[in-house]
């Protein structure tokens, strides 16, 4: 984040400070006032407000847009305090200081960047303040030293905080901690990493009573949950920035019916890149980044420096792009959400968002990446890829201009994260269950945690928590005679340290590029990594897009996939899996409303306007509260298309459940396809006569859901993540898996056995809660079903409606009904037989 406090603030708060900040009751100490003056800056009102609150020992949530000098505001009180008198540890030599301020950021790059920016005022004011970072990259020797001789200010991540509080030195290290600064809190608080951070914060408050908490957040719809996360805080709002300048690229000539890539618009995107000095081109998935990058280069006649940045490129490659960006030598970077947050690249003057924004808050965050100066509008260009996305972009722009943002559905703290924390607590020191429970329940995500569930988690950590008490003799935690819980063996602490953290990556495999004609496995530099499951479905000779090239898969050798370059311009295997983020509930509501109001359609591009008008004429345009269900025949099949606008994940779950029901009703469904806005099902029988109220009844979330979950791959993946976070399955580390075949076991096998014998096990509970908000979005589906009850309008048509076309166009690439595994095997067998019988 930028440390530039920038030119005169647009408005000064009349309450907190007099016009001349340097002389009023809350004036800055002389060295600080001189420093601001020397740079021609005036402290911002919110910066002074934070100093004032800190002086009273109050915690603060600062909500301000990007470019408001937010990070400096968070640190100023600490710098002033430290400049006055660094905290000395009583009885120790003058050189040994106590940790004064802890800063936590979601990204380690951000922590490093903030440390660098903080060094500047400290050096220029000649303050004797030591600032250090602590990340996974910090050498072990320095990490050890930091525990005994800490700096004044330590900048780190939630995972490192978890490790610190799990160490024996924690009570001493944090005893004198005065302040903790949580950066980008909006991005962290409602996630598993947020749970980890909340538990860490609760511990810090135990170790350092009176600890001042400072939360820094981008603009949010409701700061309430963030204030709760901090354990109560005063709210300070930074001045609003200039309204952004958002345009939507939509041609009146052609708007595609479906697709997510916006390939039709690449010439316009290129023109936009030319018109700005430096652009960030945001897309929603890694695969889309690859394709967009390729498309742009295909028409890059001026050879503009356009780079690619996403999470699976080799780190060295990413660093290269980042430093080129910092030097200002790039005209554009095609990137994914990896750059939603992060370090300030002052020079960016335009943000281009390809595809739908998915949420108003996400859009604001991305737009904020352009122009880190508060007083100038950020420039953004939205590029919708299809007709529904035009509506979504319009809705998002309206929301941003009106200052309205999506609210989050608040999750409950994860039980798997709690298990990790309980083990970490025991590693630090024996714990008393009553006291630990009280501490955990003081953390906002766990305030509704039942004592019984807490006890089951302790039991899980100690011996696995099974009804069959097989492992009591091998317990990881044991009761001491005093009734506290301690770790049974030092190895347990070692195991904890290796498994800490809540980010579970899919197993990845290196992609190595080798020269043509060389035997597979010979040499080749690493281009990056891809998910193992993707590579596993490739056969030698298949082509796919990665690292900006079309590559030919040659084979897997040892632990890498080997590829060669190919001259093909089109890849055979698509790796696009739809949007990564579901459409936010808030934005969905706005899109539904836009669709329901013909009087405002004229603002839309002509093809979109016409599309909706014909829909109105031929079928029905649903009112905001309604769910439209259309049925029609087409090419010997019968279709049912509904429009919940609840995002792809919830639609996919709905599709699974509806096909089960239709199967039972004898409709013989063949398959379904889901996108962000609609769900289409096709069958051998006409579904027009089915009672839609009955079909969409909420009771599908009972037995049908349970039966489907048993075999759902998404659910098994959720279980695997929970099992790893909770410490049931150890993480896989690069190099570690090569210790022979079947060294370990599959989480799917464990899931099947556990579900059969102990369906109420606490880890299955954790999985269920996770799936409700995660990959299956059951919570959202359930709200939708409740909302539309009695408001379902069904329409029998003799042919496909305009609104149904996008859903139908996606059918070709979609799945078979349910998760019918055996259908896949049967097909494979038939194709083998066909091959064998070919003469």
Partner 1 sequence: MTDDLVIGLNGERLVLDASGALWWPDQATLVFADIHFEKGSFYGVRGQFLPPYDTRTTLRRMAAVVARYRPARIVALGDSFHDADAPARLDVEERIMLGAMGAGADWIWITGNHDPAPPPWLGGFIASEFALGGLTFRHEPAVFARRGEVAGHLHPCTTVNRRGRSLRRRCFVSDGNRIVLPAFGAYAGGLDLWDEAISSLFDGDFGAYVLGTARVYAVAGRGTYHSGRRNTTAESQPKRSAISTVDRPYARGSRVAKS
Restricting to residues 718-777, which ones interact with partner 1 according to CB under 8 A? 728-730, 732, 737, 740-750, 752-754, 756-758, 761
Nearer to partner 1, 80 or 488 (CB): 488
Contact pattern for partner 1 over residues 401 through 420, marking x by CB under 8 A: --------------------
Nearer to partner 1, 558 or 798 (CB): 558
Q: Which of residues 606-665 bind partner 1 (CB under 8 A)?
A: none
Nearer to partner 1, 316 or 468 (CB): 468
64 vs 215: CA distance, rounded Å = 11
Residue 323 tokens read as: 């430093």
Nearer to partner 1, 253 or 468 (CB): 468
Nearest distance in Å: CB 769, partner 1: 19
Nearest distance in Å: CB 98, partner 1: 36
Nearer to partner 1, 161 or 509 (CB): 509
Nearer to partner 1, 189 or 761 (CB): 761
Q: Are 472 and 491 in contact (CB under 8 A)?
A: no
Structural Rg of the chain based on CA atoms: 28
Contacts for 39-42: CB closer than 8 Å, 24+ residues apart? 39/5, 40/7, 41/5, 41/6, 41/7, 42/5, 42/8, 42/9
Beta bridge partners of 628: 793
How many CA within 13 A on the CB side of residue 389? Answer: 27
Nearest distance in Å: CB 242, partner 1: 45
Of positions 81, 113, 406, 554, contacts partner 1 by CB under 8 A: 554
Of positions 126, 482, 558, 798, contacts partner 1 by CB under 8 A: 558
Nearer to partner 1, 306 or 764 (CB): 764
Q: Are 670 and 637 in contact (CB under 8 A)?
A: yes
Nearest distance in Å: CB 706, partner 1: 16
Nearest distance in Å: CB 285, partner 1: 15
Nearer to partner 1, 566 or 596 (CB): 566
47 vs 254: CA distance, rounded Å = 49
Nearer to partner 1, 684 or 824 (CB): 824
Of positions 109, 441, 793, 816, contacts partner 1 by CB under 8 A: 816
Q: Which of residues 569-598 bind partner 1 (CB under 8 A)?
A: 574
Q: Which of residues 786-815 bind partner 1 (CB under 8 A)?
A: 813, 815
Nearest distance in Å: CB 423, partner 1: 11
Residues present in the chain in total: 839
- Nearest partner of 198 among 457, 418, 432, judged by Cα: 418
Residue 456 tokens read as: 């089951």
Q: Which of residues 459-478 bind partner 1 (CB under 8 A)?
A: 460, 463-466, 468, 470-471, 474, 476
Beta bridge partners of 641: 630, 680
Handedness of CA 135, 139, 144, 148 (dihedral sign): negative
Handedness of CA 125, 129, 134, 137 (dihedral sign): positive
Nearest distance in Å: CB 290, partner 1: 17
Nearer to partner 1, 83 or 493 (CB): 493
Residue 314 tokens read as: 């080799």
Nearest distance in Å: CB 539, partner 1: 6
Nearer to partner 1, 277 or 738 (CB): 738
Q: Which of residues 479-538 bind partner 1 (CB under 8 A)?
A: 489, 491-492, 495, 507, 509, 520, 532-533, 536-537
Nearest distance in Å: CB 665, partner 1: 23
Nearest distance in Å: CB 555, partner 1: 3
Cβ atoms within 10 Å, residue 516: 9
Q: Transcribe 628-666 into DSSP letters.
A: EEEEEEETTEEEEEE---S-HHHHHHHHHHHHHHHHHTT
Nearest distance in Å: CB 159, partner 1: 22
Nearest distance in Å: CB 760, partner 1: 13
Number of residues that bind partner 1 (CB under 8 A): 71
Nearer to partner 1, 34 or 732 (CB): 732
Using the contact rule CB under 8 A, the part of the chain among 98-106, 119-127, 252-260, 708-716 near partner 1 is 708-716
CB burial string 59-71: b at 16+ within 10 A, e below: bbbbbbbbbbbbb
Q: How far is CA 600 from CA 70, 561, 575, in A?
A: 39, 53, 37
473 vs 705: CA distance, rounded Å = 38
Report residue 237 CA to chain centroid gap: 25
């Amino acid at each position: 984040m930028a440390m530039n406090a920038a030119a005169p603030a647009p408005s000064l708060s009349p309450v907190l400070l007099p016009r001349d900040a340097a002389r009023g009751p809350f004036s800055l100490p002389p060295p600080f006032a001189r420093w601001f003056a020397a740079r021609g800056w005036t402290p911002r009102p919110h910066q002074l407000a934070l100093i004032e609150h800190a002086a009273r020992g109050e915690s603060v949530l600062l909500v301000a847009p990007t470019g408001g000098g937010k990070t400096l505001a968070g640190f100023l009180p600490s710098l002033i305090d430290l400049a006055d008198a660094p905290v000395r540890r009583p009885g120790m030599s003058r050189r040994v200081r106590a940790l004064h301020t802890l800063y936590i950021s979601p990204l380690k790059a951000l922590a490093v960047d903030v440390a660098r920016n903080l060094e500047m005022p400290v050096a220029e004011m000649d303050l004797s303040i030591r600032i250090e970072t602590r990340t996974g990259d910090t050498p072990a020797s320095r990490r050890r030293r930091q525990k005994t001789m800490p700096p004044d200010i330590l900048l780190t991540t939630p995972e490192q905080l978890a490790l610190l509080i799990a160490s024996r030195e924690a009570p001493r290290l944090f005893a004198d901690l005065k302040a903790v600064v949580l950066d980008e809190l909006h991005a962290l608080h409602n996630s598993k990493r947020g749970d980890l951070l909340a538990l860490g914060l609760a511990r810090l408050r135990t170790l350092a009573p009176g600890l001042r908490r400072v939360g820094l957040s981008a603009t949010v719809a409701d700061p309430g949950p963030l204030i709760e996360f901090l354990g109560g805080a005063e709210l300070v709002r930074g001045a609003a920035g200039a309204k952004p300048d958002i345009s939507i690229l939509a041609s009146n000539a052609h708007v595609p019916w479906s697709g997510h890539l916006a390939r039709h618009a690449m010439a316009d995107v290129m023109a936009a890149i030319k018109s700005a000095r430096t652009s960030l081109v945001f897309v929603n998935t890694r695969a889309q980044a690859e394709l967009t990058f390729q498309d742009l280069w295909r028409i890059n006649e001026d050879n503009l420096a356009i780079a690619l940045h996403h999470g699976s490129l080799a780190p060295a490659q990413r660093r290269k792009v980042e430093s080129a960006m910092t030097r200002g030598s790039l005209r554009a970077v095609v990137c994914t959400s990896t750059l939603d947050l992060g370090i300030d690249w002052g020079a960016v003057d335009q943000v281009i968002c390809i595809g739908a924004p998915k949420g108003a808050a996400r859009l604001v965050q991305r737009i904020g990446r352009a122009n880190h100066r508060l007083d100038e509008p950020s420039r953004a260009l939205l590029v919708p890829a299809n007709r529904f996305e035009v509506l979504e972009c319009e809705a998002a722009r309206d929301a941003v201009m009106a200052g309205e943002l999506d609210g989050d559905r608040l999750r409950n703290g994860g039980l798997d994260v709690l298990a990790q924390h309980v083990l970490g607590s025991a590693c630090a020191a024996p714990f008393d269950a009553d006291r630990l429970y009280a501490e955990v329940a003081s953390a906002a995500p766990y305030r509704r945690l039942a004592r019984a569930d807490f006890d089951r988690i302790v039991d899980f950590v100690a011996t696995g928590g099974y009804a069959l008490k097989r492992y009591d003799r091998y317990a990881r935690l044991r009761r001491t005679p005093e009734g506290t819980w301690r770790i049974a063996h030092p190895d347990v602490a070692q195991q904890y340290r290796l498994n800490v953290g809540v980010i579970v990556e899919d197993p990845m495999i290196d992609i190595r590029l080798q020269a043509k004609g060389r035997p597979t496995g010979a040499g080749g530099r690493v281009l990056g990594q891809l998910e193992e499951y993707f590579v596993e479905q490739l056969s030698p000779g298949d082509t796919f897009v990665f690292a900006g090239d079309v590559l030919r898969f040659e084979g897997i050798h040892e632990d890498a996939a080997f590829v060669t370059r190919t001259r093909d311009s089109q890849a055979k295997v698509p790796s696009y899996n739809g949007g990564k983020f579901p459409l936010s509930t808030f934005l969905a509501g706005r899109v539904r409303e836009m669709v329901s109001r013909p009087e405002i359609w004229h603002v839309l591009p002509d093809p979109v306007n016409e599309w909706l008008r014909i829909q109105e004429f031929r079928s029905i345009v649903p009112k905001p509260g309604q769910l439209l269900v259309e049925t029609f025949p087409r090419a010997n099949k019968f279709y049912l298309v509904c429009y919940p606008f609840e995002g792809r994940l919830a639609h996919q779950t709905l599709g699974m459940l509806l096909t089960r029901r239709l199967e039972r009703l004898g409709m013989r469904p063949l398959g379904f396809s889901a996108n962000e806005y609609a769900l289409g099902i096709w069958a051998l029988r006409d579904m027009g006569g089915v009672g839609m109220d009955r079909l969409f009844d909420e009771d599908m979330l009972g037995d049908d859901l349970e039966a489907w979950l048993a075999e759902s791959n998404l659910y098994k993946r959720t279980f695997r993540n929970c099992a790893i976070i909770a410490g049931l399955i150890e993480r896989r580390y690069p190099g570690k898996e090569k210790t022979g075949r079947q060294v370990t076991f599959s989480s799917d096998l464990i899931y099947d056995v556990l579900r059969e014998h102990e369906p109420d096990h606490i880890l299955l509970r954790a999985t269920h809660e996770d799936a409700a908000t995660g990959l299956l979005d059951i919570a959202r589906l359930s709200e939708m079903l409740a909302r539309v009850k009695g408001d379902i309008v069904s329409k029998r048509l003799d042919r496909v409606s305009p609104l149904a076309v996008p859903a139908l166009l996606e059918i070709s690439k979609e799945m078979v009904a349910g998760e019918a595994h055996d259908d896949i095997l049967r097909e494979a067998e038939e194709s083998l037989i066909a091959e064998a019988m070919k003469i």
